[in-house]
């Protein structure tokens, strides 16, 4: 079908322009010393990258971001696991209400909740602390973990576990040898998205964390404000790199993920 | 020229080494119910999809009422299809599903309602008119799907394994419905199945498709009297295969000489095939002597594996007389239930007893179907 | 017995969200009603709401945010449907296309905003290309896409993130579930447009509705993107709230909270409307409509 082919190539071209082209100026800026208008190419230099990798504050910020998102992911998994399992494998009265409730942090914009959150956290002594930011991120990430895992459990056959128990496996063994391998791909995908949710948080980190926690998005934001696009671009690239690497790793791990993962993604 | 003609259809899927359909020729008359029967695998459903226009063949032609329909898109062919899964549109009611094709044609409301009601009555689902499609039982879904395909008065209806998902009772109901439809509307129906029983219940003619080729195309009873090759015989419950030699028009084997009608004159090896019901117990000392090697109770009949003159045979006797393992048994063959087939690609016939496809069909000695 | 266990399983999430999220919302409401006043004598009052609703900046921002959210969501839905419909058929390069399609989903909004700025600002890459091609005399001749009054740059940034998000869910549906139904419809005489309109679109609607709500919610309440790409006026709603919250004058706190709560209320209404509509479509059959 020649017309179908043409449309396919048109779609591909459109996607390249819409998705990949905007990254071009970012990459170019990151390698520039100056890039005055109207030049198409800048005065090349690696000063932005040198700066980013030499500054200890930058390294600290990167480490903080990674630590933060990792802890948030783990915590969200621990908190959300049993809930997801209940939603995915059981029917009960009030289920829709519970689902709506858990969905709320994903629907209600961060700005609406985060100021009140700051107030509550201050009273609890969590404001301006790392744990406080962790909790804030967990709150916004939970819907994605719960619904992601729940959808995995929907396709999960409980009878495998029942079978294992009849063969003498105790609860821990059932979990380790039957449940985890059964849900692993979907669980990894959910964790990945929660990581991204936490990684991308700006408002909650800055309001709840104040000066105590400095993450990459905050640095990026500040740099854009300062007008130093070169360094900002370098930071932006560093900002998305871990996410892209994680994505590449997990999509090798889950053949055909993305389109077939059936997990809710972050908007 | 028949109503539907398939000429030399060849079809292959990407990456496959062998073609899925390897030159299919078939002629179907108007008002016939033809079944394409064959083991599970590709080919049968593919044939239906080719006729429906959902796939394009690599080679070959499809003619409807004498005219090629290959270039006509699916929605304009006038060929409707009922898939294996009923595929009722989940967001519509039963009435909306049935009337879908009418709506696509732009049929005015009054006519629409009338035709939908007519169909609902035919399939006996009047009370479910406004039920959502997702709230029906399997059997009900199947009937709605059939009604939906029928209401647009297609030139041809294609059914993909219509009865396999149903239990015995529903199967009989659906069978009645399909026969009723043919009688009332004189619809031409082509359906595919891997189930011999299903085919025999409904077909005017059966086309046996194995490995992408149609091996035999005949009335159902013919398969039980004159299978063309060993493969066909095995598929239709001819249990015994005995190496034999053909001389002219007679076949010689350890059990004697048999003159078989309809055989081409030939000298050489051939395979004698005998139905298990062909054995009749004879008085002691007469006929062939055999020792019973194994016994399988099958309800009204008992299947025995016996050995006679170094040949293994499977025979099926009425259960009012029982033999045990090791017993001596005397029997004769009813000549009309003996046939000879080519051994397909093998030139040597090996002696085997094949029980897998014994049919429920009871045949009289002249090959006509007995009442169940 | 089983019910009890279910609720135990649900409890960690419910408790965490109950305390820290619902607690936050409640606190926000209380603060907006001036319940913790430290300055004046005051009692609980709706003064903050009155002030906010009467402020024309607020109304301006509200309409601006609504417009941006609605426009970007609509464009995203259309693009998602078109691209997914094209991509569901196999063709050479399809794998790359699907990969690029999903690429933006894990990319943070902030980065997309940055790249939109560097691309489409008056000194951005596109402007430079046009200048080099001779069709532009200087940066100010390039149309104001970023930092403009209409928020076009903001809309572009949202669309770039949102259409793949909606689109991947649609594509997944098209590739798995709907194919058979389309074939069935074809054998019943439906042409390509009819198949799309009567079979595909209805089957895609629940999925599209759900992802659109998430997309709309984000766009409506976003802070980072309008901050980077917006002009000084009109400001997006989130910016207004933030401004009031971080101002030195503590009296503006209740107003910040009031704005936050109004945002919450609006989102609640949007969700209810959307699901009412979905439910109405669902319940049609049971009510006996033909």
Tokens at B322, concatenated: 């029982």
Q: What is the mean pLDDT of residues B222-234?
A: 84
Structural domain range at position C193? 55-287
Smallest Cα–Cα separation from C111: which of A233, A49, A106, A14? A233
Out of B64-68, C2-6, C75-79, C246-250, the most confident range is C75-79
| Contact in structure between B28 and B188 (CB atoms under 8 Å) | yes
Rounded Cα distance, C144 and C121, in Å: 7
Q: What is the mean pLDDT of residues A141-154?
A: 93
Rounded Cα distance, A140 and A151, in Å: 19
Q: How far is B54 from chain C (nearest CA, A)?
A: 7
Q: How far is C288 from chain A (nearest CA, A)?
A: 25
Rounded Cα distance, B341 and C219, in Å: 75
A107 contacts on C by Cβ (under 8 Å)? 213-214, 217, 267, 271
* Chain A: touching chains (3 or more CB pairs < 8 Å): C
Query: pLDDT digits over C63-121, tens only?
Result: 999 999 999 999 999 999 999 998 888 777 778 888 889 888 889 999 999 999 999 98
Please check the confidence at residue C289 and state whether its pLDDT lies above 50.
no
A34 contacts on C by Cβ (under 8 Å)? none
pLDDT value, residue A257? 41
Compare C280 and A154 and report the one with higher pLDDT.
A154
The H-assigned helical ranges of chain A are 2-15, 23-30, 47-54, 56-89, 95-107, 110-124, 130-154, 159-166, 171-174, 180-200, 203-209, 216-226, 229-253
pLDDT value, residue A243? 82
3-state secondary structure of B154: coil
Query: pLDDT digits over C31-48, tens only?
Result: 888 776 655 556 677 888
Query: pLDDT digits over C208-254, tens only?
Result: 998 999 999 999 999 999 999 988 888 999 999 999 898 888 778 88
DSSP state of B324: -
Please check the confidence at residue A52 and state whether its pLDDT lies above 80.
yes
Cβ–Cβ gap B75/C187 under 8 Å: yes
Phi, psi of B236 (to 5 degrees): -105, 25
C39, part of any domain: no
| Contact in structure between C169 and C82 (CB atoms under 8 Å) | no
Distances (CA, A) of B234 to A146, B210, B226, B312: 55, 12, 12, 16
Q: How many domains does chain A have?
A: 1
Chains B and A touch, contact meaning at least 3 pairs of CB atoms under 8 angstroms apart:
no
Question: For strand B205-210 and strand B279-281, is the pairing parallel, antiparallel, or unpaired?
Answer: unpaired
Mean pLDDT over each residue of chain A, to the nearest integer: 87
Q: What is the mean pLDDT of residues A91-103?
A: 90
| Contact in structure between B313 and B240 (CB atoms under 8 Å) | yes
DSSP state of C31: H
List of long-range contacts for C233-237, beta carbons under 8 Å, 24+ apart: C233/C57, C233/C60, C233/C149, C234/C57, C234/C60, C234/C61, C234/C63, C234/C64, C234/C149, C235/C57, C235/C61, C235/C64, C236/C61, C236/C64, C236/C65, C236/C68, C236/C151, C236/C154, C237/A111, C237/C61, C237/C62, C237/C64, C237/C65, C237/C263
Mean pLDDT over each residue of chain C, to the nearest integer: 87
Q: How far is C289 from chain A (nearest CA, A)?
A: 26
Rounded Cα distance, C5 and C8, in Å: 5
Cβ–Cβ gap C187/B132 under 8 Å: no
Q: How far is C124 from chain A (nearest CA, A)?
A: 8
Query: pLDDT digits over A184-217, tens only?
Result: 888 998 999 899 999 999 999 999 988 889 999 9
CATH number of domain containing C235: 1.10.3720.10
Please check the confidence at residue A264 and state whether its pLDDT lies above 50.
no
Buried b (16+ CB within 10 A) or exposed e, B333-342: bbebbbbbbb
Please check the confidence at residue B325 and state whether its pLDDT lies above 60.
yes
pLDDT value, residue A3? 67
pLDDT value, residue C280? 67
- Domain B4-218: CATH superfamily is P-loop containing nucleotide triphosphate hydrolases (3.40.50.300)
C33, part of any domain: no
| Contact in structure between B53 and B18 (CB atoms under 8 Å) | no
Q: Give the number of residues written for chain B.
A: 372
Q: How many other CB atoms sit within 10 Å of the CB of residue A43?
A: 11
Nearest Cα residue in chain A from C129: A40
Q: Does C240 touch chain B (CB under 8 A)?
A: no
Give the torsion through C-alpha atoms of B338, B343, B348, B351, to 10 deg.
-50
Q: What is the mean pLDDT of residues B77-103?
A: 91
Rounded Cα distance, B26 and B60, in Å: 12
Rounded Cα distance, A142 and A197, in Å: 10
Q: Considering only the C-alpha atoms of chain A, give the largest distance between any 2 of them, rounded to a whole number of Å.
A: 74
Query: pLDDT digits over B193-221, tens only?
Result: 988 888 888 899 999 998 889 989 999 88
Per-domain residue ranges for chain B? 4-218, 230-353
Phi, psi of B117 (to 5 degrees): -60, -40
| Contact in structure between A79 and C13 (CB atoms under 8 Å) | yes
Q: Which of B55, B110, B130 to mutate to test binding with chain C, by most C CBs within 10 Å of its CB? A: B130
Q: Considering only the C-alpha atoms of chain C, give the largest distance between any 2 of them, rounded to a whole number of Å.
A: 77
Band (pLDDT 50/70/90 cuts) for residue A256 is very low
Q: What is the mean pLDDT of residues B293-322?
A: 87
3-state helix, strand, coil in chain C (%, to 5): 75, 0, 25
Band (pLDDT 50/70/90 cuts) for residue A138 is very high
Q: Which of B115-124, B326-335, C204-213 comes out lowest in average pLDDT?
A: B326-335
pLDDT value, residue C286? 39
Q: How many domains does chain C have?
A: 1
Compare A76 and B174 and report the one with higher pLDDT.
A76
DSSP letters spanning C90-121: --TTHHHHHHHHHHTTTS-HHHHHHHHHHHHS
Q: How far is C67 from chain A (nearest CA, A)?
A: 16
Q: Which of residues 176-205 of C touch B (CB under 8 A)?
A: 180-181, 183-191, 194, 198-199, 202-203
Rounded Cα distance, C77 and C83, in Å: 10
Nearest Cα residue in chain B from C191: B75
Please check the confidence at residue C189 and state whether its pLDDT lies above 80.
yes
Q: What is the mean pLDDT of residues B225-249?
A: 83
Q: Which of C188, C195, C207 to mutate to test binding with chain B, by most B CBs within 10 Å of its CB? A: C188
Rounded Cα distance, A259 and B22, in Å: 35
Please check the confidence at residue C28 and state whether its pLDDT lies above 80.
yes
3-state secondary structure of B241: strand
Strand partners, B218: B206
Work out the burial of residue C280: count CB atoms within 10 Å of its CB; fewer than 13 is exposed, 13-18 middle, 19 or more buried. Answer: exposed
Query: pLDDT digits over A155-187, tens only?
Result: 888 888 888 888 888 888 889 888 998 898 889
Rounded Cα distance, B357 and B236, in Å: 6
Phi, psi of B306 (to 5 degrees): -125, 165
The H-assigned helical ranges of A90-109 are 95-107
Q: How far is A123 from chain C (nearest CA, A)?
A: 11
- Our measurement of the distance from residue C17's CA atom to the centroid of its chain's CA atoms, rounded to an integer in Å, reads 22
3-state secondary structure of B309: coil
Please check the confidence at residue C62 and state whether its pLDDT lies above 70.
yes
Q: How many other CB atoms sit within 10 Å of the CB of residue C289?
A: 11
Q: How many other CB atoms sit within 10 Å of the CB of residue C5?
A: 12
Mean pLDDT over each residue of chain B, to the nearest integer: 86
Cβ partners under 8 Å of residue B161, min gap 6: B84, B191, B192, B193, B194, B195, B198
Q: Options 3.40.50.150, 2.40.50.140, 1.10.3720.10, 3.40.190.10; which CATH number does B230-353 get?
A: 2.40.50.140
Cβ–Cβ gap A243/C117 under 8 Å: no
Give the torsion through C-alpha atoms of C35, C40, C46, C51, to 10 deg.
-130
Cβ–Cβ gap C101/A19 under 8 Å: yes
3-state secondary structure of C179: helix
Cβ–Cβ gap C191/B75 under 8 Å: yes
DSSP letters spanning A158-224: THHHHHHHHTT--HHHHIIIIIHHHHHHHHHHHHHHHHHHHHH--HHHHHHHTTS---HHHHHHHHH
Band (pLDDT 50/70/90 cuts) for residue C185 is very high
Band (pLDDT 50/70/90 cuts) for residue B348 is low
Q: Which of B49, B104, B149 lies nearest to residue C190, judging by beta carbons?
A: B104
Cβ–Cβ gap C188/B54 under 8 Å: no
Smallest Cα–Cα separation from B343: which of B233, B266, B254? B233
pLDDT value, residue C229? 93
pLDDT value, residue A146? 95
Rounded Cα distance, B140 and B174, in Å: 10
Rounded Cα distance, B12 and A222, in Å: 61
- Our measurement of the distance from residue A262's CA atom to the centroid of its chain's CA atoms, rounded to an integer in Å, reads 16
* Chain C: touching chains (3 or more CB pairs < 8 Å): A, B
3-state secondary structure of B248: strand
Q: What is the mean pLDDT of residues C8-19?
A: 94
C50, part of any domain: no
pLDDT value, residue B261? 74
Tokens at C36, concatenated: 């913790």
Q: Which of C180, C188, C198 lies nearest to residue B148, judging by beta carbons?
A: C188
Strand partners, B6: B26, B62
Q: Which of B50, B75, B93 to mutate to test binding with chain C, by most C CBs within 10 Å of its CB? A: B75
pLDDT value, residue C38? 58
Nearest Cα residue in chain A from C28: A116
Distances (CA, A) of B267 to B114, B247, B264, C94: 66, 5, 10, 60
Work out the burial of residue B91: count CB atoms within 10 Å of its CB; fewer than 13 is exposed, 13-18 middle, 19 or more buried. Answer: buried
A106, part of any domain: yes
pLDDT value, residue A106? 92
């Amino acid at each position: 079908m020649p017309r179908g082919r043409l449309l396919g190539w048109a779609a591909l071209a459109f996607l390249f322009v819409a998705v990949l082209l905007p990254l071009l100026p970012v990459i170019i800026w990151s390698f520039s010393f100056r890039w005055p208008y109207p030049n198409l190419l800048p005065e090349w230099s690696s000063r932005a990258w040198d700066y980013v990798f030499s500054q200890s504050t930058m390294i600290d910020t990167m480490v903080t971001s990674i630590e933060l998102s990792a802890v948030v992911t783990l915590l969200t998994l621990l908190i959300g696991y049993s809930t997801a399992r209940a939603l995915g494998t059981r029917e009960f009265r009030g289920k829709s209400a519970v689902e709506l409730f858990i969905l709320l942090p994903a629907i209600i914009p961060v700005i609406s909740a985060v100021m009140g959150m700051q107030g509550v956290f201050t009273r609890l002594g969590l404001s301006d602390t790392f744990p406080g930011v962790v909790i804030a991120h967990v709150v916004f990430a939970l819907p994605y973990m719960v619904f992601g895992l729940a959808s995995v459990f929907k396709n999960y056959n409980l009878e495998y576990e029942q079978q294992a128990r009849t063969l003498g496996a105790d609860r821990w063994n059932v979990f380790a040898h039957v449940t985890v391998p059964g849900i692993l791909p979907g669980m990894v995908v959910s964790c990945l998205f929660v990581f991204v949710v936490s990684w991308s948080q700006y408002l909650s980190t800055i309001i709840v964390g104040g000066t105590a926690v400095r993450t990459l998005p905050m640095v990026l934001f500040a740099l854009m404000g300062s007008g130093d696009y070169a360094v900002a671009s370098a930071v932006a690239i560093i900002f998305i790199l871990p996410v892209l690497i994680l994505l590449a790793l997990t999509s090798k791990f889950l053949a055909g993920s993305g389109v077939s993962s059936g997990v809710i993604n972050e908007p | 020229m028949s109503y539907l003609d398939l000429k030399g259809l060849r079809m292959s899927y990407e990456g496959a080494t062998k073609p899925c359909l390897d030159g299919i020729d078939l002629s179907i008359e108007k008002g016939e119910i033809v079944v394409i029967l064959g083991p599970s695998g590709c080919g049968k459903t593919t044939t239906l999809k080719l006729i429906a226009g959902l796939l394009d063949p690599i080679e070959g032609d499809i003619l409807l009422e004498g005219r090629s329909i290959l270039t006509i898109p699916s929605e304009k062919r006038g060929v409707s299809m009922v898939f294996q899964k009923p595929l009722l549109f989940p967001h519509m009611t039963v009435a909306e599903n049935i009337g879908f094709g009418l709506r696509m044609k732009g049929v005015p409301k009054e006519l629409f309602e009338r035709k939908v009601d007519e169909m609902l009555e035919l399939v006996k689902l009047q009370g479910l008119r406004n039920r959502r499609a997702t709230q029906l039982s399997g059997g009900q879904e199947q009937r709605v799907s059939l009604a939906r395909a029928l209401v647009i008065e297609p030139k041809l209806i294609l059914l993909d394994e219509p009865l396999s998902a149903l239990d015995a009772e529903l199967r009989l109901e659906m069978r009645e419905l399909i026969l009723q439809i043919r009688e009332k509307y004189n619809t031409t129906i082509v359906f595919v199945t891997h189930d011999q029983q299903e085919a025999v219940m409904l077909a005017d003619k059966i086309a046996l498709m194995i490995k992408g080729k149609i091996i035999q195309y005949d009335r159902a009873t013919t398969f039980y009297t004159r299978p063309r090759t060993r493969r066909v015989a095995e598929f239709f419950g001819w249990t015994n295969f005995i190496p034999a030699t053909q001389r002219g028009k007679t076949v010689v084997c350890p059990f004697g000489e048999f003159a078989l009608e309809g055989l081409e004159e030939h000298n050489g090896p051939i395979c004698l095939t005998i139905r298990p019901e062909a054995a009749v117990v004879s008085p002691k000392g007469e006929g062939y002597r055999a020792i019973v090697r194994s016994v399988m109770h099958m309800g009204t009949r008992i299947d025995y594996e016996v050995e006679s003159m170094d040949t293994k045979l499977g025979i099926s006797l009425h259960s009012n007389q029982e033999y045990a393992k090791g017993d001596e048994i005397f029997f004769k063959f009813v000549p009309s239930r003996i046939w000879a087939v080519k051994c397909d690609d093998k030139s040597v016939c090996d002696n085997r007893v094949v029980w897998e496809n014994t049919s429920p069909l009871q045949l009289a000695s002249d090959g006509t179907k007995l009442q169940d | 017995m089983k019910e009890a266990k279910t609720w135990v399983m649900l409890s960690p999430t419910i408790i965490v969200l109950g305390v820290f999220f619902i607690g936050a919302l409640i606190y926000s409401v209380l603060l907006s009603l001036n319940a913790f006043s430290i300055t004046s004598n005051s009692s609980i009052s709706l003064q903050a709401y009155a002030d906010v609703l009467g402020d024309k900046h607020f109304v301006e921002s509200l309409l601006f945010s609504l417009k941006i959210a609605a426009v970007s969501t609509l464009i995203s839905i259309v693009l998602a449907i078109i691209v997914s419909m094209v991509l569901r058929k196999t063709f050479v390069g399809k794998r790359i296309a699907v990969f690029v399609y999903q690429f933006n989903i894990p990319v943070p909004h902030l980065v997309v905003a940055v790249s939109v700025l560097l691309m489409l600002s008056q000194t951005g890459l596109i402007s430079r290309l046009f200048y080099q091609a001779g069709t532009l005399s200087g940066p100010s001749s390039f149309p104001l896409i970023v930092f403009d009054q209409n928020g076009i740059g903001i809309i572009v940034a949202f669309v770039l993130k949102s259409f793949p998000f909606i689109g991947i869910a649609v594509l997944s549906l098209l590739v798995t579930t709907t194919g058979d139904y389309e074939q069935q419809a074809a054998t019943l005489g439906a042409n390509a447009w009819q198949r799309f309109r009567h079979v595909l679109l209805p089957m895609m609607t629940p999925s599209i509705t759900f992802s659109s709500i998430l997309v709309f919610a984000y766009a409506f309440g976003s802070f980072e993107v309008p901050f980077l790409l917006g002009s000084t006026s009109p400001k997006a709603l989130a910016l207004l709230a933030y401004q009031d919250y971080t101002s030195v004058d503590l009296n503006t706190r209740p107003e910040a909270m009031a704005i936050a709560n109004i945002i919450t209320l609006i989102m609640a209404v949007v969700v209810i409307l959307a699901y009412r509509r979905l439910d109405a479509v669902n319940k049609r059959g049971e009510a006996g409509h033909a």
